[in-house]
Amino acid sequence: MRFFALFIYRPVATILIAAAITLCGILGFRLLPVAPLPQVDFPVIMVSASLPGASPETMASSVATPLERSLGRIAGVNEMTSSSSLGSTRIILEFNFDRDINGAARDVQAAINAAQSLLPGGMPSRPTYRKANPSDAPIMILTLTSESWSQGKLYDFASTQLAQTIAQIDGVGDVDVGGSSLPAVRVGLNPQALFNQGVSLDEVREAINSANVRRPQGAIEDSVHRWQIQTNDELKTAAEYQPLIIHYNNGAAVRL
């Protein structure tokens, strides 16, 4: 009772104490490190696979299904979702919170290896995986459309020019380009014609690789910036590959 009587008979002290508590509360609130999206280590792993030119239906049946069957046997998987688009497939695995993410990553790698023999042979690389975090989701999505450019040309522009320009903006952490793949030229060879001309596959491969190079030619710089200069001799269309010399037969050039 005496404690409460102090605040009744000492109004000045009461006001000072209340003001001090209020001031401490304001200072504490301003200094409190509250993050709107705190970093939480979610046990989520994303598996990505690509097959250039394949339709979403083909990706779902030939790539996603074998991977899902193998990944579904991993212990501790709480939820598995997949999405397939033109030439690419993504599978997201959500594990229980008590699951060690490093151990889960090893199990995912083993599951990918087990499903490798069931995947199409035309895949340019093995499926890859990485830890995924919902806080890393994109905050801005840009869509490119054109009535004159093909989808491959749009993707080439977005990945080689637009993405690099956006990545240089202050505050941008990562830029991801998706929705298609870089344009490619498939070279179909006639085995009988190769045999008649005495041309090996290694010669064809070496000629194509030698014709698709970027050679450095120096640099331009000022007091602040430095720009690298290089020539681009890459072949882009089927018509540019046709006159390519792949072999010499008795002094006569054999073209692709």
- Domains delineated in the chain: 44-134 (3.30.70.1430), 141-182 (no CATH), 191-255 (no CATH)
| pLDDT of res. 136 | 63
- With a cut of 90, say whether residue 4 has pLDDT above it: no
**Mean pLDDT, residues 58-74:** 90
Q: What is the pLDDT of residue 141?
A: 82
**Predicted confidence (pLDDT) at residue 106 exceeds the cutoff of 80:** yes
Average pLDDT over residues 168-179: 78
Mean pLDDT of 109-133: 86
pLDDT at position 3, please?
A: 65
Please tell me which residue, 67 or 192, carries the higher pLDDT value. 67
The answer on pLDDT for 180 being more than 80 is no
Sign of CA dihedral 119, 121, 122, 126: positive
- Residue 229 above 80 pLDDT? no
pLDDT at position 39: 60
Average pLDDT for 110-139: 81
- What is the pLDDT at residue 110? 93
Whose tokens are 């919170």? That residue is 97
Tell me: pLDDT of 1 over 60. no
Q: Which range among 29-43, 48-62, 166-180 shows the weakest confidence by mean pLDDT?
A: 29-43
The model's pTM is 0.47
Q: What's the confidence (pLDDT) of residue 65?
A: 92
Rounded percentage of the chain residues whose pLDDT exceeds 70: 86
Confidence at residue 107, expressed as pLDDT on a 0 to 100 scale = 92
- Predicted confidence at residue 216, as pLDDT, reads 66
Contact 132, 46 (CB under 8 A): yes
Whether residue 123 is predicted with pLDDT greater than 90 in this model: the reply is no
Residue 143: closest CA among 168, 175, 178, 172: 178
Nearby residues of 115 by Cβ (< 8 Å), 6 or more positions away: 66, 67, 69, 70, 71
Per-residue pLDDT, averaged over 127-153, amounts to: 79
Least confident of 122-131, 137-146, 179-188: 179-188
Tell me the per-residue pLDDT of 108-119, one tens digit each, with 9 for 90 and over: 999 999 998 888
Average pLDDT over all residues of the chain: 81
Q: What does the pLDDT read at residue 134? A: 61
